[in-house]
Amino acid sequence: MAFDKAAEDCCSGKGSGQKTRLMVIGAGSAGFSAAITAAEAGAEVTLVGAGTIGGTCVNVGCVPSKTMIRAVEPLYQASHASRFEGISSAAMVLNWQAVVGQKQQLVDDLRKAKYTDVLPSHPGVSYVEGKARLTADGVLVDRTLYRPDKIIIATGSSNAVPPIPGIDNVPYLDSTSALDLTALPKSTIVIGGGVIGCELGQMFARAGVKVTICCRSRLVPGMEPEISEHLARYLEEEGVRVLTGIDYQSVTEEDGTINLIYGQNGIRQTVTAETLLLAAGRRTNTEGLGLEEAGVALNDRGGIEVDSTMQTTNPMVYAAGDVTGKDMFVYMAAYGAKLAAFNAVGGEMRGYDNAAMPVVIFTDPQVASVGLTETQASRQGINVKTSLITLDHVPRYLAARDMRGLIKLVADKTSDRLIGAHILAPEGGELIQTAVMAIKAGMTTSELAQTIFPYLTGVEGLKLAAQTFDKDVSTLSCCAG
């Protein structure tokens, strides 16, 4: 694909070539990040969006799911108030439609504040609604041909449908439609034990739905096995049925009931429910973009192949965010898109670095992770040492009488450098950034153990876990060491 720069310039209307003419395809978090960054760098930007502006996170992902997860937390806390002597409480769902309505109002408000209303603040960005396709002559948006100098693709991802026999013949929910239900089902089967499956499964269970979470391996398989094991136990204690290591054989629907037939340990079994929720991952939005014609290759994950500078196999085209099939988190999408903009517009060579990328799963307790797991480090040939403490060693959680969880640290035994931190704890997502900064700074576990932490905070658990490499913290007094 080689664009004729002398041709009519539909992006800027000038054709002068004095400024880089950049087209950003996709108007979600990555697209906006790329467009704003490029415009601030002096480029003339055409931002192309198809569908609802704002992309996945604000519309159907992070924002709606996390607010509804928070909405049901009082139901759990009330039912467990008796962990404090002399305390009793109760809470119930009175109007689920109102919960969903409040969620939608927040989504609408944030979409307007963070996307629609942001555009006028950046006169260097022109917004165009339509479906874009790369051609030999440029980019066709509906029937209009644009000839930008550079392109950034940020079209995101969509819910994936697992290849289970019969799945196309039964009604099912995905993470989008599930959050729009105005009435709670009596029961649901969740296919997938990853981030979405665990978050939404627990959310619905706390709202009173009988939930069964099914997965081929274990819950949150990318995390440390100790976290998977404990999280499964905590979910089961809340009434969630967790089926791990199963083989999906077929799914049918009879008289309004979903029947999932599966194999486990060589035995054929069936689980039934009123609804079926698919949470088996995401697929990249690459169809219809004309990638093959433009010489843009895909990787083994089905996403757009990019190098460390976010450049594709076509030097004029960059890609960022979920469409690359890598690090599918909104903050990583925005980060990668910013790099793509700097490199595409300014000719820079800024490299993508996810070595200290935090991950948070908003279950309760929350899962939070950064860096390498013990297995990943060992596979890289690193001489590994680990420490692990349960939360009954952390005063904050003793005082709260909520000791669900653990903290595991992974370090290079030779250098003592911290290379991984993995947390399962109430509000664990608020703890992980300290570990991110420690890894980014190249701290050793000894340095982390000697750092001053405030008493009766959850993050003090990182200090205690670091001390555990060399001593038994149960023998220490408060704040000792």
In a shared domain, residues 317 and 389: no
In a shared domain, residues 287 and 328: yes
Q: Are 34 and 162 in contact (CB under 8 A)?
A: no
Of 354, 383, 415, the last residue of a domain is 354
Is residue 180 in a domain? yes
Secondary structure of 221-277 in the HEC alphabet?
Answer: CCCCHHHHHHHHHHHHHCCCEEECCCEEEEEEEECCEEEEEEEECCEEEEEEECEEE
Is residue 415 in a domain? yes
In a shared domain, residues 106 and 156: yes
- Preceding omega of 185 cis (within 30 degrees of 0): no
Per-residue pLDDT, 16: 46
Is residue 330 in a domain? yes
Q: 136 is in which domain, residue-wise?
A: 1-160+281-354
Q: DSSP alpha helices (H): ranges in 325-473?
A: 330-346, 374-379, 395-400, 432-440, 445-450, 460-467
Is residue 343 in a domain? yes
**What's the domain count of the chain?**
3
Pairing of strands 157-159, 144-146: unpaired
In a shared domain, residues 199 and 63: no
- Residues 6 or more apart whose CB falls under 8 angstroms from that of 456 comprise 395, 396, 399
Per-residue pLDDT, 113: 97
Q: Which of 356, 370, 362 is nearest to 410 (CA)?
A: 370
Q: Which of 42, 50, 14, 18 is nearest to 344 (CA)?
A: 42
- Determine the Cα–Cα distance for residues 279 and 245; give it in Å rounded to an integer: 16
Is residue 70 in a domain? yes
Compute CA distances 414 → 379, 383, 409, 447, 464, whole Å: 16, 7, 15, 15, 21
Residue 315 CA to chain centroid, in angstroms? 29
Which strands, in side-by-side order, build the sheet including 44-49?
125-129, 44-49, 21-25, 150-153, 317-319
In a shared domain, residues 17 and 154: yes
Of 259, 280, 301, the last residue of a domain is 280
**103 phi and psi, to 5 degrees?**
-60, -45
**Which string of b and e fits 135-146 if b means at least 16 CB within 10 Å?**
eeebbbbeeeeb
Per-residue pLDDT of the chain (481 residues; tens, 9 = 90+): 655 433 344 444 444 456 899 999 999 999 999 999 999 999 999 999 998 999 999 999 999 999 999 999 999 999 999 999 999 999 999 999 999 999 999 999 999 999 999 999 999 999 999 999 999 899 999 999 999 999 999 999 999 999 999 999 999 999 999 999 999 999 999 999 999 999 999 999 999 999 999 999 999 999 999 999 999 999 999 999 999 999 999 999 999 999 999 999 999 999 999 999 999 999 999 999 999 999 999 999 999 999 999 999 999 999 999 999 999 999 999 999 999 999 999 999 999 999 999 999 999 999 999 999 999 999 999 999 999 999 999 999 999 999 999 999 999 999 999 999 999 999 999 999 999 999 999 999 999 999 999 999 999 999 999 999 999 998 887 765 5
CATH number, position 196: 3.50.50.60
In a shared domain, residues 93 and 201: no
Is residue 476 in a domain? no
In a shared domain, residues 17 and 143: yes
In a shared domain, residues 131 and 191: no
Predicted model pTM: 0.94
Per-residue pLDDT, 474: 86
In a shared domain, residues 271 and 299: no
Per-residue pLDDT, 4: 46
Per-residue pLDDT, 1: 62
In a shared domain, residues 272 and 257: yes
Per-residue pLDDT, 17: 52
In a shared domain, residues 368 and 349: no
In a shared domain, residues 180 and 325: no
Is residue 480 in a domain? no
Per-residue pLDDT, 13: 41
Of 322, 354, 386, the last residue of a domain is 354
Is residue 478 in a domain? no
